[in-house]
Amino acid sequence: MMKRLSMLSLLVAGVVVGIVLSGRATDQPSLMARVPTAAATAEPVPAQAASAPLTAPGPDFTRVAEKTVRAVTNISSVQVQRRQATPFSNDPFFQYFFGDQDNLFGRSRAQQSLGSGVVISADGYVVTNNHVIGEDGAQTEVTVTVGEYRDLKAKVIGVDSWTDIGLLKIDATSLPVIPWGDSSKLKIAEWVMAVGNPFSLNQTVTVGVVSALGRANVGITQYEDFIQTDAAINPGNSGGALINSRGELVGINTAIFSQSGGYQGIGFAVPSNLVRRIVDDLQKFGRVRRGSIGYVEVLPMNARLAEELRAPKADGIVVNQMSRDSAAYRAGLEPGDIIVAVNGTAITDPSQFVRLIADATIGSSARIDVLRDGKRSTLRIPIEAQQERRVRRR
């Protein structure tokens, strides 16, 4: 009997030990998976937090879109132009084939342009691009579509080819408006939203970031100070709104850089602060008033020019040619001079020089520092009103 109890005790003990060892073998891997580092004393991480993405999501533009998209319009313009009569109209050989059809080449033709616009006042002022309205000097009929396919004839208040901005007026009241934002406070990588009518798809919204500020020398307009963005902008977006995350208008979309004609992540917008200045002048005077020192053509500086002109450094810009009846020539500026500063601001490229002179107060004098034959001198050049020149785009 005692032998049987001993055998039974050993058997039970063996089973218990087997259960204990088996339990430790299955628990150990799960323990290692739960606490993979030395921070074993830390609070357990909730499953939901552990699976959260490492990067924060982009801003929510849904409320901004609800408040702003209705203030972005579709703009259709038709420019009526009369073709030039052919020089062969009196040629007998030409008349043999075409007959006496005087209006064949002298008749009017219509060109249509589609784009976007932004309502900036409840009583019907709309900002768009000059190239959306049409060529200067053409008889233009502009239609603005607001709301649910409500087409209204627009009056052209004024256009500015230097910045590619145009101002329209429609007969309407209580229109939705996008409030102005301060474009000088924009930062690189800040989120922005573009609204427009790409490919005639009304009130399309795209989101991106500010890629660069103060972008110039891109060959789009004479006065360049663009916001660059990667928010998708395509043909038809021209004149549309660039809006920050607070629902403020910070730019007017103007152009894209593209090798295919479509979106490639490089779009340009005119900053809102510049647009407001243009709009203010167009409302008051019908044109933009700018400063001028007369016709002066300048070139960017480089090491070769610096050596030829005996300049110590390749800084500034070079006067290439100028008009003899210009204020600059009368004040002593000459071709070959190197302009290094305007009113104490160092000059780095031609676009910057154009902006500084254009923004100068009419009637004042610009203090221009130049290098001539390796010697530095200062000229006082009077700022005159820029003569309005109508430029026809080709």
**Catalytic positions, written as ranges:** 131, 164, 238
At 69, the amino acid letter reads V
Signed CA dihedral, 215, 217, 219, 222: sign only: positive
* Per-residue tokens: 53: 């993405």
What sign results for the dihedral spanned by CA atoms 62, 267, 227, 288? negative
Contacts of residue 149, Cβ cutoff 8 Å, sequence gap at least 6: none
Token pair recorded at residue 179: 């409030």
Task: Assign 3-state DSSP to the chain and report helix, strand, coil percentages, each to 5.
Answer: 25, 35, 40
Contact indicator for 368, 333 with CB cutoff of 8 Å: yes
CA–CA separation, 244 and 242 (whole Å)? 7
User: In sequence order, what are the residues at sequence separation of 6 or more whose Cβ sits closer than 8 angstroms to the Cβ of residue 14?
Assistant: none
How many CB atoms within 10 Å of residue 125? 20
Residue 203 DSSP code: T
**SS3 category, 22:** helix
Token pair recorded at residue 221: 């307009």
